[in-house]
Structure 1
Amino acid sequence: MNDVPIRDESIRLGQFLKLSGLLDTGSDAKLVIADGQVTVNGDVELRRGRQLRSGDIVTFAGHAARVA
Structure 2
Amino acid sequence: MIEFKLEGEFIPLIQLLKATGLVSSGGEAQTMVSAGLVKYNDEVDYRKRLKVKTGDVVVFGEHTIKVI
TM range (shorter): over 0.9
Sequence identity percentage:
32
Where do 4+ consecutive residues of structure 1 move more than 2 Å?
A: none
Query: How large is the RMSD of aligned CA atoms in angstroms?
Result: 0.8
Amino acid in the other structure paired with 1:38: V
2:29 aligned partner: 29
**Higher mean C-alpha displacement, 19-28 vs 37-46:** 19-28
Residue-by-residue CA offset, 1:1-39 (whole Å, 9 max, x unaligned) = 111112111111001111112211100001010000000
Unaligned stretches of 5+ residues in structure 1: none
Unaligned stretches of 5+ residues in structure 2: none
2:14 aligned partner: 14
TM-score, length basis structure 1: 0.93
2:55 aligned partner: 55
